[in-house]
Amino acid sequence: MQNPTDLIATMGARARLAAAALAALPTGTKRAGLCAASAAIRAQSAAILAANAEDMERATAAGLSGALLDRLRLDEVRLASVADSIAAVAALDDPVGATIDTRERPNGLTLTRVRVPIGVIGIIFESRPNVTADAAALCVMSGNAAILRGGSEARASNRALHAAFADGLAAAGVPRDAVQLVPTTDRAVVGAMLTAAGLIDLIVPRGGKSLVARVQADARVPVLAHLDGINHIFVHASADPAMAAAVVVDAKMRRTGVCGAMETLLIDRAYPHAATLVEALAAAGCDVRGDDAVQRLTSVAPATAADWDTEYLDAIASVALVDGLDGAIDHIAAHGSHHTDAIVAADAGVAEQFLARVDSAIVLWNASTQFADGGEFGMGAEIGIATGRLHARGPVALEGLTTYKWVGRGTGQVRG
Amino acid sequence: MQNPTDLIATMGARARLAAAALAALPTGTKRAGLCAASAAIRAQSAAILAANAEDMERATAAGLSGALLDRLRLDEVRLASVADSIAAVAALDDPVGATIDTRERPNGLTLTRVRVPIGVIGIIFESRPNVTADAAALCVMSGNAAILRGGSEARASNRALHAAFADGLAAAGVPRDAVQLVPTTDRAVVGAMLTAAGLIDLIVPRGGKSLVARVQADARVPVLAHLDGINHIFVHASADPAMAAAVVVDAKMRRTGVCGAMETLLIDRAYPHAATLVEALAAAGCDVRGDDAVQRLTSVAPATAADWDTEYLDAIASVALVDGLDGAIDHIAAHGSHHTDAIVAADAGVAEQFLARVDSAIVLWNASTQFADGGEFGMGAEIGIATGRLHARGPVALEGLTTYKWVGRGTGQVRG
């Protein structure tokens, strides 16, 4: 096998050339490429499903858990949805070339800030093969070249999906190298990608916490990552009890495995319906762990210190009573992960203070934390939810995959 | 001395509290704090100049070069200019709280993207003590807490400047910890800052290439940096010869030590006035190094392969003849540093292609590269010129020191 550093250098050089071509492609060509990629995936579905069956067989023999097998599995319906989501990305507005702002200087120099692609994006993901197609589509539409490195469990599926995708691009006149798949599952390639400064402009890890943590620790290239979603809902004394119960139950129980799920419920000590609220959550099937005050209100398991810092991603919630808005904000500052935090309150003044003072990518008033999702934000798709503070926060879609440049037009101005 | 990691942990925790307070401060309070800091620097000028004299004496005894001594030196005039620039930052528009965009979702949820400070910014700089004040002022105005780590040569000056600055802030009700100065010049503190993920949100290195390169290599925290300014001017066949000579001479010779200075001149092989242009540059005092074709045109020293990748920061320029627009773009892609590149051309179609295809933070048409400067962009001041691709590119001032959060306001929406 090729040395991983050399492999990434070669792929990176090809990606850079493709990126230069992609940056100049008209929107229509990118759209045509994605529609053709979507069609190619449908046309090659037999080959893709056969490859997936091969992965499933190997994974079953290796004893992967049922949840992991389910993530890996493709069928006609899931594959159609992969093809649909590529076509949906093709319908989004193209951010490239948009003017962010314009200023004319007193010397007559006109300065315009224009959106441009970031360049070459490395995507490191685990077992779900549909990420191949989603991430590739978002990169192409935003004018970026992608280098995809998928998990070894999905290697045959990824290869088949990527082949179809690249066939579609090439048929429509988009460079095939716009989306490259690392042709080996050697783990050393991940290390080579993470240190490929100058070759890869941004790394997007998609997967579990250990993958993301490794990427963040080892990367010498900027990383756009979502680590934890320890999301809170604070129910203020002024909250409407029916709304509070509906929002809290939805935020926790609609889907417990998504990063936007509520993990900790903070109830204002002055809220008169705390016991009813906790009981509604338990009645919905949630394992509730309460602090001392909650335990005195109703029958719940005790929360330990670790609970406040735990992302369960399961039908479990920690619940604490807090002293009003300040108590909630202090708890969130100490234990939150700056992902999504919400307040339920009728008092608009209190709610606005919460929205202003809680330092999270997404802050919500009277709405479920499960809205933390690119689709729900009207972005059509997302490459991830960023919990870092730089470049982009919250759901990241096409615009988050662009940067800008300054374009100055003069008539011979010199600084003098 | 305190362990560097513990020291940064303590300073980081104090900075985080100050940042939370700063984020909520009204514009008027930040302005009052900066005006008071400016006034305090004037009021404490005797103490600051005495501290600077101490630094100068130590640096002279240590045999520092004349250029470094000049960077370190403060006098009444320079100190007044430091105070003025703080007051000028206080007059800038406050970016915090500005709405970037608003969208109402079909379910009635309103989503607003609002500018917020980044949080805690670590600034690592070398000998120039005025950076202390400039960087601190930009951080405070943009609502960020700053941890400053200055060079050991300037330690007494930095301490005196920082004391005055913090006195001013505190007098106006801005937390004194909004701007902290690392109280030791132990180099291990730099390492502790670079790895202080969660404590420091962004590192801004201000100094020479070796400092910036070390920061980029070792940082586990995002870095906003300017590394090289290998800037090009391409003179197209259609260029007006008088404009070309004026722009090129200004770009190279106005100030040769600034990062916006032109380092390489690319002349279209079809440009009829190439010899005159090169001679104008030489007549202005520039040491010109030409490729073979340029050497045949006029008497210049030969350029070696290394010249095309060199940032001279001096009265030296490399000059090559290239084959039209494509030749220029290829040369810039191979040797440029993505800082500032310009075209001089009368042909607007060619110029627009250059502006679109050259992948640099700043691209200019018919204007000197020496305009690459926050003041010239109307930003009033800058914390640096970013040559990375993420978050901010080109001159970075107040807006570049902010990020955003998503604020959602609902009426009880659940995802369902």
Q: How many CB atoms lie within 10 A of CB B81?
A: 13
* Closest in A197, A246, A403 to B412, CB measured: A246
* Shared-domain flag, residues A267 and A199: no
Same structural domain, B58 and B76: yes
The rounded distance, in Å, linking the Cα atoms of B204 and B193 is: 11
The pLDDT of residue B1: 62
Q: Please tell me the distance from the alpha carbon of residue A171 to that of residue B223, in angstroms, as a whole number.
A: 40
Residue A68 to chain B, least CA–CA distance (Å): 25
Dmax over CA atoms of chain B, in Å, equals: 78
Q: Are A46 and A63 in a shared domain?
A: yes
Q: What is the pLDDT of residue A183?
A: 94
Contact A250 B378 (CB under 8 A): no
- Using CA atoms, how far residue A178 sits from A43, A167, A169, in Å, is 21, 11, 8
Can you give the pTM of this predicted structure?
A: 0.93
Say how many domains are in chain A: 2
A407: nearest CA partner in chain B: B363
Task: Give CA separation, A233 vs A297, A329, A358, in Å.
Answer: 19, 11, 12
Question: Do B287 and B402 lie in a common domain?
Answer: no
Q: A376 contacts in B (CB within 8 Å)?
A: 105, 109, 415
DSSP three-state, residue B302: strand
**Chain A interface disruption, residue of B112, B258, B405, B407, most A CBs within 10 A:** B405
Q: Which residues of chain A have pLDDT under 70?
A: 1, 127
- B388: which chain A residues are within 8 Å (Cβ-Cβ)? 222
Does B268 lie in the same domain as B401? no
Per-residue pLDDT tens over the stretch B174-223: 999 999 999 998 889 999 999 998 899 999 998 888 888 889 888 888 89
Q: Is B362 a domain residue?
A: yes
Asked if residue B218 is part of any domain, the answer here is yes
Q: Are residues B148 and B273 in the same domain?
A: no
Query: Based on the domain organization, do A364 and A322 belong to the same domain?
Result: yes
Is there a single domain that holds both residue B189 and residue B44? yes
Asked if residue A380 belongs to a domain, the reply is no
Examine residue B376 and state whether it is found in any structural domain, yes or no. no
Residue A413 forms part of a structural domain:
no
Question: What CATH number is attached to the domain comprising B290?
Answer: 3.40.309.10
On the 0-12 / 13-18 / 19+ scale of CB atoms within 10 A, B156 is buried
Question: Does residue B385 lie in a domain region?
Answer: no
What was the pLDDT predicted at A1?
A: 62
Distance CA B14, CA B211 (A): 26
Predicted local distance difference test score (pLDDT) of residue A378: 86
**What angle, rounded to 10 degrees, do the helices at B45-61 and B155-171 form?**
160
Best to test chain A binding among B118, B224, B389 (most A CBs inside 10 Å): B389
Q: Report the alpha-carbon distance of residue B278 to residue B233 in Å, rounded.
A: 13
pLDDT of residue A208: 82
In a domain, A336, yes or no: yes
- CA distance, residue B63 to nearest chain A CA (Å): 35
Residues A30 and A168 in one domain: yes
* Chain A positions in Cβ-Cβ contact with residue B405 (cut-off 8 Å): 359-363, 393-394
- Check B391 against A388: CB less than 8 A apart: no
> What's the gap in Å between the CA of A153 and the closest CA on chain B?
30
In a mutagenesis test of the A interface, which of B99, B100, B111, B340 is the best target, namely the one with the most A β-carbons within 10 Å? B111
What CATH number is attached to the domain comprising A58?
A: 3.40.605.10
Q: Judge if A266 and A146 occupy the same domain.
A: no
At A167, give phi and psi (nearest 5°). Answer: -60, -45
Which mean pLDDT values do the consecutive 10-residue runs of chain B (416 residues) have? 91 96 96 98 98 96 91 94 94 95 95 97 86 90 96 93 97 97 92 94 89 88 86 98 98 94 98 98 98 97 97 96 98 95 98 96 97 88 86 92 96 94
Closest residue on chain B to A337 (Cα): B198
CA of B360 to nearest chain A CA: how many angstroms apart?
7
Tell if the CB–CB gap between B405 and A394 is shorter than 8 Å: yes
Instruction: Residue A413: list chain B partners with CB under 8 A.
Output: 247, 366-368, 371
In this structure, are B304 and B215 located in the same domain? no
Tell if the CB–CB gap between A405 and B360 is shorter than 8 Å: yes
**CA of B22, closest CA in chain A: separation in Å?**
11
Instruction: Measure in Å the smallest separation between the Cα of B193 and chain A Cα atoms.
Output: 15
Does the beta-carbon distance from B407 to A355 stay under 8 Å?
A: yes
With beta carbons under 8 A apart, name residues in chain A contacting B116.
Answer: 359
Cβ contact (<8 Å) for B356 and A247? no
Task: Name which of A363, A302, A372 is nearest A336 in CA terms.
Answer: A363
CB contact under 8 A, A412 and B364: no
Give the pLDDT confidence score for residue A339 in this predicted structure: 95
Mutation pick from A238, A332, A409, A411 vs chain B, by most beta carbons of B within 10 Å, is: A409
Q: Residue A301 and residue A192: Cα distance in Å, rounded?
A: 47
Residue span of the structural domain in which B69 resides: 4-224+395-407
Across the interface, do A105 and B378 touch by the CB < 8 Å criterion? Answer: yes
Closest CA to B382 of B366, B367, B368, B393: B393
Q: Are A317 and A265 in contact (CB under 8 A)?
A: yes
B270 and B298 in a single domain? The answer is yes
Contact (Cβ atoms closer than 8 angstroms) between residue A42 and residue A76: no
**Backbone dihedral angles phi then psi of residue B303, each to the nearest 5 degrees:** -85, 140
- Domain contains A30: yes
* Residue A413 to residue B389, Cβ atoms within 8 A: no
Helix (H) or strand (E) holding B111: strand B110-117
Q: Residue B351 corresponds to which tokens in the numbers above? A: 């110029």
